[in-house]
Amino acid sequence: MSFLILVRHGQSKWNLEKKFTGWVDVDLTKKGIMEAKKAGTLLANEKINIDFYYTSLQLRAINTLKIIQEELGDQKKFVEAWQFNERHYGALTGLDKIEMSKKIGDKKVHELRRSWDIKPEPLKKESPYHPININTYDQVPKKFLPDTESLKDTYDRVIKFFEENIKEKLRINNILISAHGNSIRALCKNLFNLNANQISYLEIPTGNPLIIELKENFKIVKCEYLDKDRARDLLIF
């Protein structure tokens, strides 16, 4: 048996402001820091020895992981991978979600946010929010810096990295991934065998560890959120 622990970062500044964030590298709010601390405390109570840690290149996920490690008293080095970054929202990046709903309607916003293979319009390269203009991504080859992404695009990069770098380790190791709503949804789609319609309804709460217990053949034995008060429907259990 082994454990895969998925944690969406704590509340970010643009989560609070209800903006489409994507690849913009914003940090945690005070509430987000507290969510990360609680995640670490809940994990410490589980007494699971974590062998490997992974996160994205984005501050909100990295700092969530650092806070969790502080609470665990574990200073192992962790791997930062751009493949675990949030989905890129294209031209929606930086826009207010509520205002966009008023402008184009809830149905269209939901389609752009949650559909499997529909992408928002590309973000112009001269935008300060484009990844080529954000120092965080200086070391990522430009061919991998997107103008926009669908969930399918996000799924493809997340699962390729997962299968090439993490999956085999899971046979005998416990692994924690601190990432984002859509990169975690991509992992859940793969692990839970959800279809394109089901994944549009999967909500991932901030700062709430999702613990997945696996057999060596990767069959899921048990799956649950540690903070029961903020748990969401996993669609499978």
Query: Looking at the annotation, which residues are catalytic?
Result: 9, 86
Tell me the C-alpha distance between 189 and 116, whole Å: 11
Length of the chain as a residue count: 237
Tokens of 7: 């944690």
Instruction: Note the helical H segments in the chain.
Output: 13-16, 30-46, 59-72, 97-104, 106-114, 151-165, 181-192, 196-199
| End-to-end Cα, the chain, rounded Å | 19
Question: Token digits for 181?
Answer: 């709503």
Measured distance CA(146)–CA(57) in Å, rounded = 14
CA distance 93 to 21: 6
Q: How far apart are CA 33 and CA 2, in angstroms?
A: 28
Contact 82, 58 (CB under 8 A): no
Q: Which residue reads 């996920």 in tokens?
A: 61
